[in-house]
Structure 1
Amino acid sequence: MIIYTFPVRTAFIDRDLEMISPVADIRPLEFTQSPIQLPFYFIFQFFQLLWFLPKTSQYLCFFGGYHSVLPVLFGRVFGKKCTIQAGGTDCINMPEIGYGNFRKKWLRKATVYSFKNCSLILPVAEALVKQEYSFDPRINSKQGLLNLIPDLKTPIQVIPNGFDTGFWKDLGEKRRAFSFISVATGTSNSTRAVVKGYDLIEKLAENHPEWTFTLAGDSNYLSPNSNVKVLGRLKSTELLKLYNSHQFYLQLSTSEGFPNALGEAMACGCVPIGSAVGAIPEIIGNTGFILLRKDLSGLEVIFKFIDPVRTLKLSEKASLRISKEFNFGLRKEKLLKALSLT
């Protein structure tokens, strides 16, 4: 049995379970993101791991952090493999915007312990291993695991996310001109909104009242602009329709690992406009536009290069790129091999 631990259950977790469950027994154990509940969850998780220990073959964690400490410890003590999938915040130190595990003393200690003592690290993006960050000039340029943990010796293998392009696809529907969409959860928290680039999106919306913007994922997010529509968490079928009705997808994050919504939207034919952080440039390739610095004037320049013919071509290229380079099958093959399940 594989024990799979994570701080919160997401669509990413569900996809991993979908990939692994046909070939191995896997048990998901959700932790907590609440500081108040941490002591209780450490005790609860200890007894969970102890209860399942006789049947456990290996441990798998999504993100390094508090929830990965005990699985790593159990792995070392009982000689069982423990793999951590690094996803983003666990490889970042950005106190300037209140983001990243490494800005908090005890969370940093838990993260460093986990990565230094696990068996294998599987980041979803090369930028999470080591990067020279330059998007926001306020933020320290040294980001990524090898910059933040210089003596890290644990083996690292990058395995990008993958998408079910049989589901996420261009349905050939009419898209409204200059319609923009971005999807993120937790953006009613102002720090989270900045991390996801909503501050730039709002400035763009203010400058262009004739354009339409949809921000999905958190119904409590408040926009000051009347041309911004806010939606809560949506089902996959609802997102599929939304992506197919919008012309552009905005991923203007200040920090990012491998944004799933960007890949989904591209697979559905949205032309991507993204910041030069994390795996965003790698995902977009030559199918959209990259903003090199966090600057509204630089973002505005992008739209000087947009016309209906080029937009249509980029839409087709974006969908094709995801199906070829980031499909579900590629990730499944690499992940199962890394976990010694093939």
Structure 2
Amino acid sequence: MPARKPVLLYFYPAQSSFVVKDLRLIEREYEVRHRGFLPTEKWQTPLVWLGQIFFLLRHIWQAEVLVCMFAGYHSFFPALFGKIAAKPCLIVAGGTDCVSFPSIGYGCFANPLLGRFARWSYQLAAHIAPVHEKLVWQDYTYQPNDYPHQGFRFHCPDLKTPHTVVYNGYDAQFWQPDPAIVREPNTFLTVCAGLDMRFTQRLKGVDLILEVAPGMPQATFTIVGAPAGFTFPGQPANVRLLPKIPLADLNAVYSAHTYYLQLSMSEGFPNALSESMLCGCVPVVSQVGAMPDLINGSGFVLPVRKAEVLEQLLKKALETEEVQTLSQKARRQVATHYPEQRREQELLALLQWLQKNS
């Protein structure tokens, strides 16, 4: 009879692709008991907390370790119960829980109450596992309307909790160029959820794309994630909208485009960018978070949030004669440095270390 796996409690604010992937990895070594924190209205938050407390009271004594994806309201009680019960709690810091952008109301620390719960969670946790060094601390120069630095150490200056960076990982066998698809020249692609909200358009840099597109009639800009019937007011003729596309079909979309745009004001370690690079897209990214390090010379970096600078950069990208070389370099960069196996090994090793040293 096989030995019983140790019990791990896993908490998350939404069932994102990050969560699904990590659950799959962790379940290879642990019996995972997971609980989402998904109030549909703000007033339901205390009720969801109550359900979380009952879950913790029922399972904490069998658990060896707790994991929270991101810090926030949902991570406070797991970190607190872990502290009380001497069960180590690991918080995976992913992006929004490390930043504050008051100019657009984005980031945990832009909300005083949410920021307080995130700070308490980080303080109570046994360890933090950011997905990139830039989420710990980064100098921020992309736009001047917010803080000159970002990262959880900047927003929690007295934090003593240790951290270990564990990069995101990607399956290079699943994400690869489709040989049956001819890549269209002069095509730019971006994937964006919540496309109909002005806040999201600004956060993800879609507003910049709409601003530069009319001056670049030789190029086509595809934006994935449009709700049914949605169009932008005065939408340029060379901007094409596609609905949200299932994960299994994204490979074909990536493979049909030459460049991938990720022009966000804030990012941690974006999945879509990494997946598109594995599929051979040449990346064009803002100088934000992990992205310049992630692409590592395989594409183009927008240093400041200005439409005229972006237009010059995109024209430079279109004129390059090294598209094929950059495409191969982009795939090699993610496949070599950020394989899924690396995240699995490092995350599981960290969890086992926490078990032994708690």
Moved more, 104-113 or 210-219: 210-219
Give the partner amino acid of 1:20. Answer: I
Determine the C-alpha separation between the residues in 1 that align with 2:206 and 2:192.
Answer: 9
Name the structure 2 match of 1:213: 221
Give the partner amino acid of 2:138. Answer: Q
Name the structure 2 match of 1:64: 71
Partner of 1:58, secondary structure, is strand
Determine the C-alpha separation between the residues in 1 that align with 2:75 and 2:317.
Answer: 46
Determine the C-alpha separation between the residues in 2 that align with 1:171 and 1:238.
Answer: 11
How many residues get paired?
342
Are the aligned partners of 2:262 and 2:273 in contact in 1 as well (CA < 8 Å)?
yes
Name the structure 2 match of 1:277: 288
Residues 266-299 of structure 1 deviation map (CA, whole Å, 9 limit, x = unaligned): 0000000000000000111010000110112211
How far did residue 13 of structure 1 move?
0.8
Are the aligned partners of 1:183 and 1:261 in contact in 2 as well (CA < 8 Å)?
yes
State which of 114, 117, 121 in structure 2 corresponds to 1:114: 121
Residues 51-109 of structure 1 deviation map (CA, whole Å, 9 limit, x = unaligned): 22232221101110000001001101111010001111111111011111111121011
Deviation >6 Å, runs of 4+? none
Residues 141-193 of structure 1 deviation map (CA, whole Å, 9 limit, x = unaligned): 12111111111110011111110001001223311111111112223222122
Instruction: Give yes or no for the alignment of 1:232 onto 2:243.
Output: yes
Moved more, 324-333 or 264-273: 324-333
How far did residue 44 of structure 1 move?
1.1
State which of 143, 151, 154 in structure 2 corresponds to 1:144: 151
Determine the C-alpha separation between the residues in 2 that align with 1:171 and 1:100.
Answer: 36
Name the structure 1 match of 2:309: 298
Are the aligned partners of 1:170 and 1:319 in contact in 2 as well (CA < 8 Å)?
no
Give the partner amino acid of 2:350. Answer: A
How far did residue 222 of structure 1 move?
3.6
Give the partner amino acid of 1:292. Answer: P
Give the partner amino acid of 2:46. Answer: P
How far did residue 229 of structure 1 move?
2.5
Determine the C-alpha separation between the residues in 1 that align with 2:348 and 2:197.
Answer: 36
Partner of 2:169, secondary structure, is coil
Determine the C-alpha separation between the residues in 1 that align with 2:141 and 2:63.
Answer: 43
State which of 2, 18, 23 in structure 2 corresponds to 1:12: 18
Partner of 1:178, secondary structure, is strand
Give the partner amino acid of 1:176. Answer: E
Determine the C-alpha separation between the residues in 2 that align with 1:337 and 1:330.
Answer: 11
Are the aligned partners of 1:219 and 1:230 in contact in 2 as well (CA < 8 Å)?
no
Residues 298-329 of structure 1 deviation map (CA, whole Å, 9 limit, x = unaligned): 11222225446311110011011111011111
Superposed, 1:76-155 pairs within 5 Å as: 76-155=83-162
**Unaligned runs of at least 5 residues, structure 2:** 1-6
Normalised to the residue count of structure 2, the TM-score between the two structures is 0.91
Shift in CA distance, 11/51, structure 1 to aligned 2, threshold 3 Å = same
Determine the C-alpha separation between the residues in 2 that align with 1:111 and 1:131.
Answer: 19
Instruction: Give yes or no for the alignment of 1:203 onto 2:188.
Output: no
How far did residue 227 of structure 1 move?
2.6
Instruction: Give yes or no for the alignment of 1:25 onto 2:31.
Output: yes
Normalised to the residue count of structure 1, the TM-score between the two structures is 0.96
Are the aligned partners of 2:225 and 2:243 in contact in 1 as well (CA < 8 Å)?
yes
How far did residue 218 of structure 1 move?
4.2
- What is the identity percentage for the equivalent residue pairs of Structure 1 and Structure 2? 37
Instruction: Give yes or no for the alignment of 1:326 onto 2:338.
Output: yes
**Unaligned runs of at least 5 residues, structure 1:** none
